[in-house]
Amino acid sequence: MFLPQEIIRKKRDNLELEAADISRFVQGITDNSISEAQIAALTMAIFLNGMSRDECVALTLSMRDSGKVMDWTSLDLPGPIIDKHSTGGVGDTVSLMLGPMFAACGGYNPMISGRGLGHTGGTLDKLGSIPGYNPFPTPEQLSKAVREAGTAIIGQTGDLAPADRRIYAARDVTATVESIPLITASILSKKLAAGLDALVMDVKVGSGAFMPTPELSRDLAESIVAVGTGAGLNISALLTDMSQSLAPCAGNALEVRCALDYLTGVARPERLHGVVMALCTEGLLAGKLAETREEAEEMLRKGLDSGAAAERFSRMVSILGGPGDLLEHPDKHLASAPVVHDVPVPDDGYIAAFDTRALGFAVVALGGGRLRSDQEIDPAVGLTDICELGAPVKKGDLLLRVHARSEEACHSVLPMIYEAVQISPDPSATKDLIQGRVVGK
């Protein structure tokens, strides 16, 4: 006889759970025969005692199987299904370029993305600034986008890993969000439900990262790669710097414009380009589309320079309801803020540090993000022309530009911005862009 309290007791006492017990518990979460109190008790026991790799694999697969698992075999695609997941960051527009770049190199990328909460923007919010773009297409539209554009960035539907929603709701109100096994299972269950062949993880490190320390970021990367490998996925992870905004901008329509400029070759900011190329290279290797890094990088350069990646993005937007001329006429379609204010550097010296999380919250305060899931966002507002760490500056130089709905909103965030930046009289060492790589064993 299955007794949920016995599963809770075993984990409370730091005993290893059997895969069958985990599966039955998750089934009870899905069919509502397990109560919120029991979910909360188990998540707290996991938070305190952790999980072995085998336990976490069992939890991940059970959560994946709690709902629909996508199957792309009927499309008879001639390439692998490749995806990427980021732990979130400020100015992180990578997903908007990565899918089209994979597609231009022979891969297929049905990317299930989310909306932003806290200090980080969500990919769906960025795409939501494109008029008409539908992140919840019909099955026929989704199949058409994946088959013809090679990429489709969509939202999570209710039938994908539904157990995760109840588990996360319990974690959110019981101080167990920060559990690495539970974070791992939450991320991977949804990615595995997308029917992937390969996955590359982007785990952020620094003042704008989800995890508070570099050590915990590495622990999370190692957990995700170990569990993903145990679940049969070709997976690797990169630890990337989030001690400053990845792109020189933050805000939904502003980041879409940055992505369009990147894909069309108008501008490819160095830090953003470095992370995009590194993650795309990992994906091509994991998907076995390239045998060496040099081959992968050459394929990606050709995909960008030929315009193939930009064309894939344009095709995806058009199939999913957006304007067909977005690449040619972005200003016609993307919202712009009525107030643009230059923020000057307060002192001579060097940009020594950013509180990147605080910059993210400045965008939220302007209306470009949400602290609650039911908040509406303004696609036009945000920050651009953000100075880079280590840059020599003089008093009065441009620190960044604020794009706001009103002068009042603009001036309300200036104290947050000035508190978020440190100016030093002496130059300081900058962080490596790629701070580590984790592969399966």
| Residues with Cβ within 8 Å of residue 390, at least 6 apart in sequence | 350, 351, 427, 428, 430
- Rounded to whole angstroms, how far apart are CA atoms 281 and 284? 5
Residues linked to residue 84 through DSSP beta bridges, in sequence order: 200
Q: What CATH number does domain 4-64 carry, 1.20.970.10, 1.10.20.10, 1.20.120.160, 3.50.50.60?
A: 1.20.970.10
Do the domains spanning 73-330 and 336-424 agree at the CATH topology level?
A: no
C-alpha dihedral sign at 135, 138, 142, 147 = negative
| 0.85 surpassed by pTM | yes
The domain locations on the chain are 4-64, 73-330, 336-424
SS3 for 312? Answer: helix
Catalytic sites, residue numbers: 83-86, 123, 171, 186, 190-191
Residue 37: name the closest of 183, 180, 166, 181 by CA.
Answer: 166
The residue type of 364 is V
CATH architecture, domain defined by 336-424 = Alpha-Beta Complex (3.90)
Residue 335: name the closest of 382, 290, 292 by CA.
Answer: 382
Q: How many residues does the chain have?
A: 441
The backbone torsions φ and ψ at residue 274, rounded to the nearest 5 degrees and listed phi first, read -60, -45
Which bin fits 79, alpha (ψ -120 to 50), beta or left (φ > 0)?
Answer: beta
Q: What CATH number does domain 73-330 carry, 3.20.20.150, 3.40.630.30, 2.40.420.20, 3.40.1030.10?
A: 3.40.1030.10
Q: Angle at the Cα of 98 (from 94 to 103), degrees rounded to 5? A: 165
Confirm if 382 and 368 have CB atoms less than 8 A apart.
Answer: yes
Per-residue pLDDT tens listing for the chain (441 residues): 789 999 999 999 999 999 999 999 999 999 999 999 999 999 999 999 999 999 999 999 999 999 999 999 999 999 999 999 999 889 999 999 999 999 999 999 999 887 766 677 789 999 999 999 999 999 899 999 999 999 999 988 888 899 999 999 899 889 998 899 999 999 999 999 999 999 999 999 998 888 889 999 999 999 999 999 999 999 999 999 999 999 999 999 999 999 999 999 999 999 999 999 999 999 999 999 999 999 999 999 999 999 999 999 999 999 999 999 999 999 999 999 999 999 999 999 999 999 999 999 999 999 998 877 677 899 999 999 999 999 999 999 999 999 999 999 999 999 999 999 999 999 888 889 999 999 987
